[in-house]
Structure 1
Amino acid sequence: MHKASVIQFVDYSMEISNKTLLKNINLEFAENETFLVYGPRNSGKSLLLRSIVDLNNELFRNVKSSGAILFQGENIVNLEGQYLRSQISYCEPTFIDNINFLTLSEVLYLALGLKVSDITKDQFLLLEKLNLSHIFADRNTLKSYEHFDEWTIGDKISFIIFLNIARNPQVFIFDSILDHLDDFLLNNIKEFLYETKKDKTLIISTRIIKLFSDIAQKIGFIANGEILFTGDIQDFMLSFPV
């Protein structure tokens, strides 16, 4: 049975300062699907995924694009940015460092409009599943973890995942951020994400395909800004041994 398309690239190209960085991208992400975007460093993975939530225009000057990106059949240029980013959650490794400039209370309020005291029972259960409940257990631990320099990298990534899931988007995009987890925590996070996505779409970009080949159904292989393969991950592993 064919799954409904959630995000679709149609002959999409992008250039920055007159240099073409994405070339004629045709790619589809379906509902209830885990999709890997795989490629070497500087292959265009982040440019591709940031374009879904229109972030490249905020990071670079002289960005030009052609073709279209559709979200649930609607061209994203016709969608209000706040709505788009409420439905599509995007996070990448710079988020780990960026939260160091804020406190826990500030991040919770900016991301979810919550005070620590307003965390619901369901949200606490989510923190518990992500092995973060010890931080929120009482006032003393909250005080000691108010500044993120007391957090491990793994705890920061788990917290970023919590913030994204608590917003209840339709699409989760993890742009290389999960590559930074140790094996034990990564396995826990993968199991958790796979169980909770249900009718969601999960997009993971990585340079290390073997980390996620056990949970992904589809893969897009990108190099030099071009999609060289898209399809079932088993077919890719046979055609491009890694």
Structure 2
Amino acid sequence: MDKNKIIEIKDLSVYINNLKLLKNINLEISKNEILLIYGPRNAGKSLLARSMVALNEELFKGIQTTGQVLFLGEDVNSIEKRYLRSTIAYSEPTFVDNINFLTLSEVFNLALRIKPSDISQEQYMLLEKLNIAHIFSNHSSLKSYENFENWTIGDKISFIIFLSLARNPQVFIFDSILDHLDDFMHKDIKDFLFDIKEDRSLIISTRNLSLFSDIAEKIVFLDKGEIIYKGSIEGFLLNFPL
């Protein structure tokens, strides 16, 4: 096995109610790279991203899958789900809305088994890099931000990234969630993601190529469930100019 290969997808097809929505996908994802999964709405980007954490079967009835998704050479369906989803951190836009139903303390307890006031110095430094350390700076600010309705969308996304990082995953999958950041937050988050890729692989699913093409090494262009192109960003732009 190639030591640089972290995820391998072999002839993956996904059917929902007998409709073939992903069509014979073959893809390799290496360690320490940033991959874009790009395509229009309903191209199959989320189906592909969720396949890497064996999540589609939990969300859809009438789903059938053929082919394989391997993480470090092992089929993801044979890996214990809690471990799989801690080592491959998946996030998507509904996470931003779903945390509104919980308090900050409840999320910390569920995700990290600690209180917000018990974060380590290392974790606080990570919060600083994500520009949300002010929320955790003192008891008064923690109290003010206990309810997530008081958070901006950008702060919530930064917090979701923090929760994923705190579990030390090997792979990050951002399924369209970063598309919801404003222009100023995009730059900060992109710089941060580029810095951390030396230790992790990052997969960014997006409908907006221009947001992330400057930090990615490789792109997969999906349309109607098929890979139309996979390779370098430069090669894609030559074949499919914006």
1:5 partner letter = K
The whole-number CA distance in structure 1 between the counterparts of 2:27 and 2:10 is: 7
Once residues 5 and 237 of structure 2 are traced to their aligned partners in structure 1, the CA distance between those partners, rounded to angstroms, is: 24
Alignment of 1:87-166 (within 5 A): 87-166=87-166
Q: Does 1:198 align with 2:172?
A: no
Q: Which residue does 1:33 correspond to in 2? A: 33
* Alignment coverage as a number of residue pairs: 241
Deviations 1:108-166 (A, max 9, x none): 11111121122000000110111111111111111110000000001001101111111
Q: Give the corresponding residue for 1:22.
A: 22
* Structure 1 residues without counterparts, runs of 5 or longer: none
State the Cα deviation string for residues 72-116 of structure 1 (Å, max 9, x = none).
111112211111111100000000000000000111111111211
Amino acid at match of 1:226: E
Tell me, in whole angstroms, the C-alpha distance in 2 between the residues paired with 1:4 and 1:198.
13
Q: Distance in 1 between matches of 2:174 and 2:149?
A: 23
2:221 aligned counterpart, secondary structure:
strand
Flag as ranges the 4+ runs of structure 1 deviating above 4 A: none
- Equivalent AA in structure 1 for residue 169 of structure 2: P
Q: Which secondary structure does the structure 1 equivalent of 2:51 belong to? A: helix
The alpha carbon displacement at 1:208 in A equals 0.5
In 2, Cα distance between equivalents of 1:92 and 1:29:
20
What TM-score does the superposition give when structure 2 sets the normalisation length? 0.97
Kept after mapping to 1: 8 A contact 2:9/2:25: yes
Secondary structure at 2:68 match in 1: strand
Q: Secondary structure at the match of 2:15?
A: strand
SS in 1 for 2:198: coil
**1:174, 1:147 → 2: CA distance?**
24
Inter-partner Cα distance in structure 1 for 2:220 and 2:3: 17
Query: Percent identity among equivalent residues?
Result: 61
Which secondary structure does the structure 2 equivalent of 1:135 belong to? helix
Alpha-carbon shift at residue 199 of structure 1 (Å): 2.7
Q: TM-score, normalised by structure 1?
A: 0.97
How many Å separate the matches in 1 of 2:7 and 2:211? 24
Give the RMSD, CA atoms, in angstroms.
Answer: 1.0
Report the 3-state secondary structure (helix = DSSP H, G, I; strand = E; otherwise coil) of the residue aligned with 1:199. coil
Distance 1:114 1:224 in 2: 43
Q: How far did residue 3 of structure 1 move? A: 6.9
Match of 2:235 in 1: 235
Give runs of aligned pairs for residues 150-229 of structure 1, distance below 5 A.
150-229=150-229
1:81 alignment partner in structure 2: 81
Distance 1:114 1:234 in 2: 44
Secondary structure of 2:222's partner? strand
| Paired residue type of 2:24 | N
